[in-house]
Chains A and B, each alone.
Chain A
């Protein structure tokens, strides 16, 4: 193919970053997320086993569901027995626990933190409010379905789910990871435009890059 077509294709593959002011765009990446294929079968099974054995939760209590994360972490229901521990920075975390409802101000931070996490990354959504809005179904500031904005692997129903339910959910997640079904990162990369459209529909002042690493 001729070079200029390739350039055009590359140009339209790049992100616009319209939210940013002109002079700042050069500081941010304009590449879209790319699909990353898993390794060969046996190696992938092995690393999946390792991933499922050490899950690192991002320490971001986005809602009232995160109140039950503290008993989960501490001495009564000691989650560290299962190799699950908290990680204060999204760069190192691998599990994002959405604690309950996400308000419009929080979903912006959720998207940003989720995109900064280094894959493979898994999302656990707590509470009825993330499934269908729960008792805030008619609130003007809380979203109804979280899976329109980021891919979700496990839902844990209840308001709020008990720590036992959370442990069960983590076990479910581990089983899914070992089967290699948790592919939210590639899902996000494939349907990137759809997710972005939904996110920009509710985040009115989009003043961050379209995809921030």
Chain B
């Protein structure tokens, strides 16, 4: 009986996260539009897009992996999400948080991309392998500073459990990792730029070079699933960062806590949006070089700093 309740709670959490993630995507589109000097699409546009993609009459598949690719992507997004507590100390939004879930989450972040790579490769369009190669290489590079930052956090709090990490940051803004371990936060935020793949790191979906890259053959429901996953995955990433570095969202009143979560994730997202609105795109090797240079050095420094001082 207990597990059923937990599953029900998880479904509620997924709903909330999906809606919030898609709304966040729409808000970001509007902000870009304002930078461009126009109005931009309405806030409900992503939802209508998803309905429209699922309502296509004909859908072309290229084999089994082509089916499984978006499914893996969605599984990766859900897996990333399900092990992150959205709200600290909440029965509904606690999710399946357990010991060592940080490692699981980082594995799931990879998992979705790999599944997507398999599916896109089956599509057979020459641009999708190029996009997949770019995406995986870039991910391998930006995962390095991120893992270093997570290792630093784990050393700092002597735990691999996100809930404990959040618990350790409670009680005052100065307990956040942002202030207790700034180097790790800097490294992680730099890698967030690549994770969100906004400019200048929007290599994977560069329209002028490889028109939209891996999902170039995805159509109809495949694309719809990918877009749904975009909402979930965005929310999951941002909530993870919020939990690890910005003190999580904790409040006795659940709605206030949700509000805190929204405000924090939004401001974390803005960091990469502001940079993306003002910069052109890197060449792939430039992007890889960027991640392997300063963010990695900062991450190593943060680990050393935490371990020995």
A→B interface (CB under 8 Å): 36, 47, 50-51, 53-54, 59, 74-75, 78, 80-81, 83, 85, 88-89, 91-92, 94, 118-120, 185, 213
Question: What number of residue pairs across chains A and B have CB atoms under 8 A from each other?
Answer: 77
Q: Which residue on chain B has the smallest CB distance to residue A37?
A: B57
B212 contact set on A, CB distance < 8 A: 88-89
- Which of B78-86, B150-158, B216-224, B237-245 binds A? B216-224
Known pairs A50-B51, A88-B216, A120-B57; list 10 more (Cβ under 8 Å): A36-B58, A47-B55, A51-B52, A54-B48, A54-B49, A74-B36, A78-B33, A80-B40, A81-B40, A88-B207
Whether A53 contacts B39 in the complex (CB less than 8 A), given A91-B218, A118-B59, comes out as: no
Q: Does B211 reach chain A (CB closer than 8 Å)?
A: yes
Q: Does B60 reach chain A (CB closer than 8 Å)?
A: yes
Q: Which residue on chain B has the smallest CB distance to residue A34?
A: B58
B48 contact set on A, CB distance < 8 A: 50, 53-54, 83
Q: Does B45 reach chain A (CB closer than 8 Å)?
A: yes
- B37-51 vs A, CB cutoff 8 Å, 1 = contact: the mask equals 111111001001101
> By the criterion CB–CB under 8 Å, are A80 and B41 in contact?
yes
> By the criterion CB–CB under 8 Å, are A118 and B219 in contact?
yes
What is the CA–CA distance of A44 and B220 in the complex, to the nearest angstrom? 16
16 contacting pairs across A/B (C-beta < 8 A): A36-B57, A47-B51, A47-B55, A53-B48, A54-B45, A59-B211, A75-B38, A78-B38, A80-B41, A88-B212, A88-B216, A91-B219, A92-B223, A118-B58, A118-B60, A120-B57
Q: How far is the CB of A117 from chain B (nearest CB, A)?
A: 9
> By the criterion CB–CB under 8 Å, are A91 and B60 in contact?
yes
A81 contact set on B, CB distance < 8 A: 38-42
> By the criterion CB–CB under 8 Å, are A88 and B38 in contact?
no
> By the criterion CB–CB under 8 Å, are B37 and A75 in contact?
yes
What is the CA–CA distance of A89 and B213 in the complex, to the nearest angstrom? 10
A185 contact set on B, CB distance < 8 A: 57-58
> By the criterion CB–CB under 8 Å, are B60 and A78 in contact?
no
Q: How far is the CB of B68 from chain A (nearest CB, A)?
A: 18
Most buried by B among A47, A54, A81, A118: A54
Whether A85 contacts B41 in the complex (CB less than 8 A), given A53-B48, A74-B36, A80-B33, comes out as: yes
> By the criterion CB–CB under 8 Å, are B52 and A54 in contact?
yes
Q: How far is the CB of A70 from chain B (nearest CB, A)?
A: 13
Q: Which residue on chain B has the smallest CB distance to residue A44?
A: B55
> By the criterion CB–CB under 8 Å, are B55 and A92 in contact?
no
B219 contact set on A, CB distance < 8 A: 91-92, 118
Q: How far is the CB of B287 from chain A (nearest CB, A)?
A: 21
Q: How far is the CB of A44 from chain B (nearest CB, A)?
A: 9
A88 contact set on B, CB distance < 8 A: 207, 211-212, 216
* Top 9 A-B residue pairs of the complex, sorted by shortest distance between their CB atoms: A88-B211, A47-B55, A78-B38, A50-B51, A91-B219, A75-B37, A75-B38, A54-B52, A119-B57
What is the CA–CA distance of A97 and B295 in the complex, to the nearest angstrom? 45
B207 contact set on A, CB distance < 8 A: 59, 88
What is the CA–CA distance of A94 and B211 in the complex, to the nearest angstrom? 16
Q: Which residue on chain A has the smallest CB distance to residue B30?
A: A80
Most buried by A among B51, B53, B55: B55
Q: Which residue on chain B has the smallest CB distance to residue A29?
A: B60
Q: How far is the CB of A185 from chain B (nearest CB, A)?
A: 7
What is the CA–CA distance of A36 and B51 in the complex, to the nearest angstrom? 19
Q: How far is the CB of A114 from chain B (nearest CB, A)?
A: 13
Q: Which residue on chain B has the smallest CB distance to residue A53?
A: B48
- B192-223 vs A, CB cutoff 8 Å, 1 = contact: the mask equals 00000000000000010001100011111001
Partner of A78, one of B39, B45, B58: B39
Q: How far is the CB of A80 from chain B (nearest CB, A)?
A: 5
Q: How far is the CB of A95 from chain B (nearest CB, A)?
A: 12
A50 contact set on B, CB distance < 8 A: 48, 51-52, 55
A47 contact set on B, CB distance < 8 A: 51-52, 55
Q: How far is the CB of B31 from chain A (nearest CB, A)?
A: 13
A94 contact set on B, CB distance < 8 A: 52, 56
